[in-house]
Structure 1
Amino acid sequence: MSASDTFQNNASGQAEGTGDGSGLADTARTDLAGLGEEVSQQAAALGQEAQAQIGELADKAKGLADEQKELLASQVSGVSQALNRVAEELSGNNEASARYVRMMADGAQRLTSTLNDNSVDDILAIAQDFGRKQPAAFLGLAALLGFAASRFVSASASRSPRSTIAADTTSVEPSPYASVSGGTGGSDVRI
């Protein structure tokens, strides 16, 4: 029996019984206290469930961030290797350019090492520290990364419908109303 049922039973018993107002008030206080306890227990249970769900979501987000970090590390490593090949090709013709390309390749390799050697939380701490120490450079880098990301998204979006249309045209069957020109009279024949 819940606290509200007890309250209703006690209240109806008091109304039929002695008519003592203080007994009814005591019963109401007791029932309200029980109801308050029940509400606080349910609120605590809901809070624990919400914390568990937030923890699960945080774990999923960290897992996704780790996957993206590994993908980024492999892509930056590929860029570093490509820059090293370009530097080797330039070394015979233009040594100054080759030196600059090697410097960029070294920077990309250091970034790859940083990504591989640190967790997502460590990388975020490094970024925050850099932002505090050099805010102008941080904002410039953030703007550059935002520009690159928007270009990537717009390029991916513009490529996507074309590939879908190209895939659809390869599997299109001719319409039963397609026209075929006749060999002798030059008139169109409907199939």
Structure 2
Amino acid sequence: MNDQGPHHDHETLKQKGQQSADELKEAAREQAESAFDRQRDSVAQHTHTFGSVLQRAADEFDRQEQPFCSEQARKLADHTERFSQRLRDKDLHALCRSAEAYGRREPAMFIGGAIAAGFLVTRFLRSSPAKASSSDVSTESKAPDQTL
């Protein structure tokens, strides 16, 4: 009969598997980029807000006749605003390349920043469930009183 039958079926399955894997990889990439874009925009907005707070602090230092503090707050506000704008202008790949280049130029600062970011993320993640579980606990503690 046909000697190529089982081999041909194997190759067809292999191609279909590869095609499915490629489609899955593309869908995951698109989802990651979409999530990154949302988070990037959120971080950029928070950074912009922080810059505005620093500008107001600089204005307050001016009113209190504290020129050194005012100047430092304005510099930090300007850096913060530039960072916010650069962040908005970059996609995931560009941001990764920038982080890699910075890590090569300033390895100690990069590692220190990564550690600090890790602590902040950990703190954020620990505080988020605590709020949700404390509201769940208060809801649960009210529920038995209402049923009695």
Equivalence map 1:19-58=2 (5 Å) = 31=3, 33-58=4-29
**The residue matched to 1:173 in structure 2 has which SS?**
helix
TM-score of the two chains, using structure 2 as the length reference = 0.87
| Match of residue 74, structure 1, among 45, 52, 61 | 45
Using the TM superposition, give the Cα deviation of residue 174 of structure 1 relative to its aligned residue in structure 2, in angstroms.
Answer: 6.0
Using the TM superposition, give the Cα deviation of residue 168 of structure 1 relative to its aligned residue in structure 2, in angstroms.
Answer: 4.5
Q: Which residue of 1 is the match for residue 30 of structure 2?
A: 59
Q: Which residue of 2 is the match for residue 147 of structure 1?
A: 119
Instruction: Percent identity, please.
Output: 22
Cα-to-partner distance string for 1:58-108 (whole Å, 9 max, x where unaligned): 111111111111111111111111111111112222222222222221121
Equivalence map 1:84-123=2 (5 Å) = 84-93=55-64, 94-123=66-95
The size of the alignment, in residue pairs, is 146
- Structure number with greater CO (CA < 8 Å, separation at least 6) is 2
Distance in 1, matches of 2:12 and 2:23, equals 17
Computed over aligned residues only, the root mean square deviation of the Cα atoms, in angstroms, reads 1.9
List runs of 5+ in structure 2 lacking aligned partners.
none
Distance in 2, matches of 1:173 and 1:41, equals 63
Using the TM superposition, give the Cα deviation of residue 47 of structure 1 relative to its aligned residue in structure 2, in angstroms.
Answer: 0.9
List 4+ stretches of structure 1 deviating above 6 A.
Answer: none
